[in-house]
Structure formats: structure tokens, C-alpha cells
Amino acid sequence: TGYVTLDRGYKNTGATQSAITFLDGEEGILRYRGYSIEDLASKASFLEVAYLLIYGELPTANQYETFSNGIRRHTLVNEDMRKIFDGFPVSAHPMCVLASLVSAMSAFYPDSYEGNKNPDLHIVRLLAKLPTLATWSYKRALGHPINYPKNQLDYIPNFLHMMFALPVEDYKVDPVVAEALNVLLILHADHEQNCSTSTVRLVGSSQANLYSSISAGISALWGPLHGGANQEVIEMLEDIKADGGDVGKYIDMAKNAKTTGFRLFGFGHRVYKNFDPRAKIIKKAADDVLAKLGVNDPVLEIAKGLEEAALNDPYFVQRKLYPNVDFYSGIIYRALGIPTNMFTVMFAIGRLPGWIAQWKEMREQKEPIGRPRQIYTGATLREFVPLEQR
Ligand code: CMC
């Protein structure tokens, strides 16, 4: 009944009110709870930002202590989860493994679905265990033993330890690497009603528990038009390099996206029509990190060439297609030693606080179940023909 407006891809439909993230696509402004992304990325720690997103205010020293200690205490994952993990083929994409393991967490914490009890505890568990789970796929792909978390380490150093430490030699966290990762995770922490976040809210609106909702968000993030773009970008840049470095050829292919089906990954954004403020910070961070680590990555030069060519091409200018957050993030991840198929996992670790904050807000606002309408385009009433007469 009633009048249904069609808005494919929800390009102009507000699905909720939210006090978490402010985004102005024309001006290239991004703020979490009123704080500019530039300030947060240069001055805050990822866990402070996580607290800010989830609870609405920057934590006091005491609140931060309680929050981060809670996370420290929950980094271990139930050993039975390893049996589930061991059932995956070694070649499984880490995003598929991560979504499945997070979904499985409901089974280990039934109070999450029996009346949705203890939300703060589930929040802490997820923040604590996601990095642990994320490192398993990488270790296994190498044939290395997994590393248990080391709780004397802070959040990001602990993740780096689980990723890179080997039992046969000492491992020291490089502060340049930890700081770069801190910036990247903050930049990814929330982005209002993007595809994965809307998924989390929609799934959660049926009162599905937090783990199931986040698992759905991870699945949505994996797609190449969303978080999966960061893996696609590096693969594209490597293809260009292998192909002799002719960026013009790829620009031409992308201009004919309708016939070639090829898009310039890391370009364009549904909301940013001027520039993506995160891309600006990341581009500078990529230069800094590569210089500090002494990495000379030819792919960075190709990225810069591609960006310049696109920014001067009427096709991209007219459509307001600018580099987005994913364009340079992969170059940094690579310089930090993170393998390509883990890039989207890094995005998921960064986005987790945003998903949680949005899920929590949705529940606290007592939003109704999400249920879009449609415009039916199928057959009108038809007479049923029995099988033997068809
Ligand atoms: N390369 C070539 N053409 C493009 C691109 C691109 N990357 N992006 C958009 N276009 C064209 C598109 O063909 C269309 O052209 P026309 O007006 O002739 O039909 C026009 O620009 C508008 O594109 P759209 O697909 O209608 O825009 P959208 O808002 O639905 O899509 C997007 C936004 C980000 C999915 C899209 O720009 C895209 O596919 N980009 C490449 C993938 C990517 O980098 N994704 C990461 C996004 S940022 C982080 C995140 O969300 O995870």
C-alpha cells in the first residue's frame, strides 16, 4: 500500500539518524563525534578513537585504562575455535575465514543471543579477538605456528607481534610501523552509512546479536567495490607495472568501463565529490612511511602517475572521480610487510569500532526492523499449468 519511491543503491535515501560520523562530500570533511579526522589521525590512538566512536566521548585517563585493560584481558580465543579454523582449506581467503569465525563466536557466547545480554562485554571481546583471529590465516599460509597474544603489549604492537614474531628469533615492533598502522586504522574506523555499516545495522535491526551482525558487515566489506578495493588497487598497479608501466592504456580502459568492465580501483566515491580527506592523509603517510623504512616501491610511482593522468582527464574530472582511501592504503600495507590478501582484513580491524558504534546506536534508538520496499516488475497473474501439461 502507499507510494513507493525507487532509489536504487540508496543514493539519496537516509535510512537513519546518527550522531556518530559527520561527512560532507562536497567539502571533503570527515569528523567522528565532532572531532576532525585530521586531528584524530595525528593525535589519538586507535583505541581512544574506538572508545570515542562507541561511547560518544574521548575517554578520560581512567576510562581509557579500564577499556584498554578489558581488551587486553580478552585477546585469547577459545581453543575450540581453532578446530573450526583448521577445517578451512589453507588457500581460503582470510576475509571468508574471518567472517565465519566471527559468526561462530555467537556459539561460544550464547548470552549474546539469549536476550542480547552484556553488550559491553561482547564489544570488548570482539575488539580484543578480531586481531588475534585475523593473524591465524596469515600464519597458516606461511606454515608457521600461530602466535598467542602477548598482553603486555598495546593493541597495535600486539597485532604486529602475532603477525610477524617467530618462535626462533626475537621480534621487536618497529615504532614507525606501529604508528603508520595507528593512522590507517583510525582513518578506517567509521564512515557513516556505507555498505558494510548499513549491513550491520540492517542485520542488527532484526535483533540479531552483535557477532552475527558484525560477521555480515565483514562479508559486505569483502566486495571489490567496497573494502575489497584495496586489494584490487595493488593488483591493478602490479598489472600495470608488469605490462610495461603504461598508465594511459589503463586510463583508456577505465574510460570505457561500460564496454571493458574495467574500473580504476581506488577511484570514485559515492559521497566524496571533491576529494576524500582520508586519501589526502594516506598519500602523505605513504610518502613518510616509505621514506622512514627506506622502501623504494616502484608501484608508488605508478600510483602517482595514474593519479595525475586521471586528475587531468575530462572523463574523471566530469564524473568527479578522485582517489579514495583505498588508493594509497595498499602501498603502505605492503611497505609494512602485510600481504595483499590481508589488506581488506586490515580494513575490517579498523572499521570494527564503527560497526559496533552503529549497531549500538541503532539498538539504543530502538530503530524498527529495516525492510525496504520494491517496485514489482514481474508477471501479472498467471494461470497455473500442471507439470504434465507444460
Ligand atoms: N573507474 C571508471 N569509471 C568509474 C569509476 C572508476 N573507478 N567509478 C565510477 N565510474 C563512472 C561510472 O562508470 C559512471 O559513469 P557514467 O556516468 O558514464 O555512467 C560514473 O562514474 C558514476 O559511477 P557510479 O558507479 O554510478 O557511482 P557510485 O556512487 O554508484 O559508485 C563506487 C561508487 C566507489 C562504487 C565507484 O566509484 C567504484 O566502483 N569505484 C572503484 C572501486 C573502489 O575504489 N571502491 C572503494 C570505494 S572507497 C572505500 C570503500 O567504500 O570501501
Beta bridge partners of 21: 32
> Residue 114: what pLDDT?
85
CA distance 300 to 15: 38
Question: Closest Cα to atom 37, ligand 1: which residue?
Answer: 268
Closest-lying ligand 1 atom to the alpha carbon of residue 233: 44
Which residue segments constitute the domains of the chain, with CATH numbers given?
21-226+341-364 (1.10.580.10), 229-335 (1.10.230.10)
Strands 29-32 and 35-36: antiparallel
Which residues are annotated as catalytic? Answer: 269, 326
Pocket test for ligand 1, best of 270, 275, 351 (most atoms within 8 A of CB): 270
Question: Closest Cα to atom 8, ligand 1: which residue?
Answer: 268
Cβ-defined contacts of 301-309 (< 8 Å, 24+): 302/237, 302/240, 302/241, 302/245, 302/247, 303/237, 303/327, 303/328, 303/331, 305/245, 305/247, 306/237, 306/240, 306/247, 306/250, 306/251, 306/264, 309/247, 309/248, 309/251
Q: 39 in helix, strand or coil?
A: helix
The amino acid present at 211, given as its one-letter code, is Y
Closest-lying ligand 1 atom to the alpha carbon of residue 258: 13
CA distance 177 to 358: 29
The interface predicted TM-score of the complex, written ipTM, equals: 0.95
> Residue 118: what pLDDT?
87
Say how many Å lie between the CA of residue 268 and the centre of ligand 1: 5
Say how many Å lie between the CA of residue 208 and the centre of ligand 1: 31
Say how many Å lie between the CA of residue 207 and the centre of ligand 1: 32
Judged on CB neighbours under 10 Å (0-12, 13-18, 19+), 3 is exposed
Task: Kindly report the pTM of this predicted structure.
Answer: 0.95
Judged on CB neighbours under 10 Å (0-12, 13-18, 19+), 295 is middle
Pocket test for ligand 1, best of 221, 267, 322 (most atoms within 8 A of CB): 267
DSSP sequence for 6-25: --GGGSS------SSEEEET
Say how many Å lie between the CA of residue 274 and the centre of ligand 1: 14
Neighbours of 372 (CB within 10 A): 10
Question: Closest Cα to atom 35, ligand 1: which residue?
Answer: 225
Q: Which three cell numbers stand for residue 43?
A: 593525535
> Residue 152: what pLDDT?
96
Question: Closest Cα to atom 15, ligand 1: which residue?
Answer: 319
Say how many Å lie between the CA of residue 2 and the centre of ligand 1: 33
Q: 31 in helix, strand or coil?
A: strand
Q: How many residues does the chain have?
A: 390
> Residue 305: what pLDDT?
92
> Residue 99: what pLDDT?
98
Say how many Å lie between the CA of residue 368 and the centre of ligand 1: 31
> Residue 115: what pLDDT?
76
The amino acid present at 97, given as its one-letter code, is V
Cβ-defined contacts of 155-160 (< 8 Å, 24+): 155/45, 155/46, 155/47, 155/68, 155/71, 155/131, 156/46, 156/181, 156/182, 156/185, 158/75, 158/131, 159/131, 159/134, 159/135, 159/349
Pocket of ligand 1 (CB under 6 A): 9, 194, 225-227, 229, 254, 257, 263-270, 319, 321, 324-326
Q: 344 in helix, strand or coil?
A: helix
> Residue 274: what pLDDT?
87
> Residue 380: what pLDDT?
98
Q: 128 in helix, strand or coil?
A: helix
CA distance 59 to 190: 18
Pocket test for ligand 1, best of 321, 322, 344 (most atoms within 8 A of CB): 321
Question: Closest Cα to atom 39, ligand 1: which residue?
Answer: 225
CA dist list (Å): 105 to 95, 288, 321, 347 = 15, 38, 39, 20
Question: Closest Cα to atom 44, ligand 1: which residue?
Answer: 266
Beta bridge partners of 31: 22, 36
Torsion of CA 182, 32, 220, 6, to 10 degrees: -160
> Residue 287: what pLDDT?
86
Is-contact 330 189, C-beta < 8 A? no
Closest-lying ligand 1 atom to the alpha carbon of residue 11: 29
> Residue 241: what pLDDT?
94
The amino acid present at 8, given as its one-letter code, is R
Query: What are the pLDDT tens digits along the chain (390 aa)?
Result: 578 999 999 999 999 999 999 999 999 999 999 999 999 999 999 999 999 999 999 999 999 999 999 999 999 999 999 999 999 999 999 999 999 999 999 999 999 988 777 899 999 999 999 999 999 999 999 999 999 999 999 999 999 999 999 999 999 999 999 999 999 999 999 999 999 999 999 999 999 999 999 999 999 999 999 999 999 999 999 999 999 999 999 999 999 989 988 999 999 999 998 889 999 999 888 888 889 999 888 888 899 899 999 999 999 999 999 999 999 899 999 999 999 999 999 999 999 999 999 999 999 999 999 999 999 999 999 999 999 999
